[in-house]
Amino acid sequence: MAKNYKNQKLKEREITQEMRESYIDYAMSVIISRALPDVRDGLKPVQRRILYSMYEMGLKPEGRFRKSATVVGETMGKLHP
């Protein structure tokens, strides 16, 4: 069944151009929001979440040994978006 789009503001675009622009927009947002360290403390958001999880778990340099998988699991389970 054909749909009537005459009264709507739809633009025809080349799929390759749309994909190129969409990919660049997404890549830039990832770089800005996740891949670049913050100028205030030099940490990336994921590093900040890991340190916060370690703080919440009570992990300290003088404390007992914990496997890194425990910290990663805790971080992903509670703080992963």
pLDDT at 71 over 90: yes
Residue of 74, 80, 81 whose CA lies nearest to 56: 74
Residue 1 domain-assigned (yes or no): no
Residue 30 domain-assigned (yes or no): yes
Average pLDDT over residues 42-50: 91
Residue 35 domain-assigned (yes or no): yes
Residue of 54, 58, 56 whose CA lies nearest to 43: 54
Residue 37 domain-assigned (yes or no): yes
| Residue at 72: amino acid letter | V
Residue 6 domain-assigned (yes or no): no
* Percent of the chain's residues with pLDDT above 90: 48
The CA-atom distances, in angstroms, between 77 and each of 50, 52, 73, 81 are 11, 13, 6, 10
- Which range marks the domain in which residue 39 is found? 15-79
Average pLDDT over residues 13-34: 89
pLDDT at 23 over 60: yes
In the chain, the number of structural domains is 1
Under the banding of pLDDT at 50, 70 and 90, the label for residue 13 is: confident
Residue 57 domain-assigned (yes or no): yes
The CA-atom distances, in angstroms, between 13 and each of 4, 7, 18, 53 are 18, 18, 7, 46
